[in-house]
Amino acid sequence: MLLMVVVLCLLIGCKKQEKPKNIWEVLADEELWKNMEFVKADYQDAFSYSCDLEKKYGYNGSYAVDTLSFPCDNDTIGRFELWFPTELKTTQHQWPLVIMANGTGVLASKYQPIFRHLASWGFIVAGNEDENTWWGRSVSATLDFLLAENRRPESLFFGKVDTTSVGLAGHSQGGIATFTASTMFPNSCYYKAICAMSGNAKEAVNSIQCPLLLICGTEGLDEMWKQGQNETFDTIFTEIPVVSAYLKDTDHGKVLPRGDAYMTAWMRYWLCDDTMAAHCFVGADAEIFRNKDWQDVRRKNLP
């Protein structure tokens, strides 16, 4: 079972391909690694959003965005990459924080448009250059770095991180990292919202203490994740709010950019008290339930 999970994690970001005959073919397929598909600038223009709120949160918010990079002594992490509203430089406002967990080989520097998009909605967004995040260690270290900067008087981020509003998101191997990072470390208690895309770990789900959004595709490699996401949802017996949804006609590599809209709305809802974003998920007329591009949407512990 563990070997299967590792192999599935290694497949993040690849272009749609024929199903591998066996796991050894996957591990030996050099072309697969060379042809990874990363998130491009203006990625939203490739999609036709069917509903108003999905389109709203799929495109950039109102904030201008800046970015900074900080070296890290840990070679696995490489450096911490931060995106944030430009306004942060000149105000003492506290900003919610979202930590991003990388998929295999997809470093933070390789999907910058996702970070920039989230930051434009009023978040500090942090990542790193770890290629294998699923243990959660580098994710935890990234959060610790921001917490330390928030306490350091000389830092640009001094007193500007809202430590009561911290989110965590990841795709594929990064999706699994959201489970480990939010349950296995001393700083796991900081997370107030999680979005796991195309990656799950039902064994850990009942240790999660905050709202959880599960997103998966329905084509290609994500056909293998669908059962796991269903089992993860069915395993939950705690009272945390959960939404599970599947993107129609979408394979593994497209889930991150295509699912980014509702991921952003999820973070806005739980970390910013955005009542408009709430309408994506709650109520009898919640948008995601009537969005024709999504299927098999389920929820627990939400009105």
Task: For residue 278, give its domain range.
Answer: 2-300
pLDDT digits (tens, 9 = 90+) for 100-113: 999 988 899 889 99
Cα 53–59–60 angle (5° rounding)?
120
Q: What residue spans of the chain are helical by DSSP H? A: 2-9, 23-28, 30-34, 52-58, 112-119, 137-151, 173-181, 223-235, 252-272, 275-278, 287-290
Output the six-digit token pair for 104. 């295999």
pTM for the complete prediction? 0.88
pLDDT at 301 exceeding the cut of 90: yes
Q: What is the mean pLDDT of residues 295-299?
A: 98
pLDDT at 20 exceeding the cut of 50: no
pLDDT digits (tens, 9 = 90+) for 129-153: 999 998 999 999 999 999 999 999 9
Count of C-beta atoms within a 10 Å radius of residue 188:
20
Count of C-beta atoms within a 10 Å radius of residue 47:
17
CATH classification at residue 197: 3.40.50.1820
Question: For a pLDDT cut of 90, what percent of the chain falls above it?
Answer: 78
Number of domains in the chain: 1
Mean pLDDT of the residues in the chain: 89
How far is Cα 300 from Cα 95, in angstroms, rounded to an integer? 28
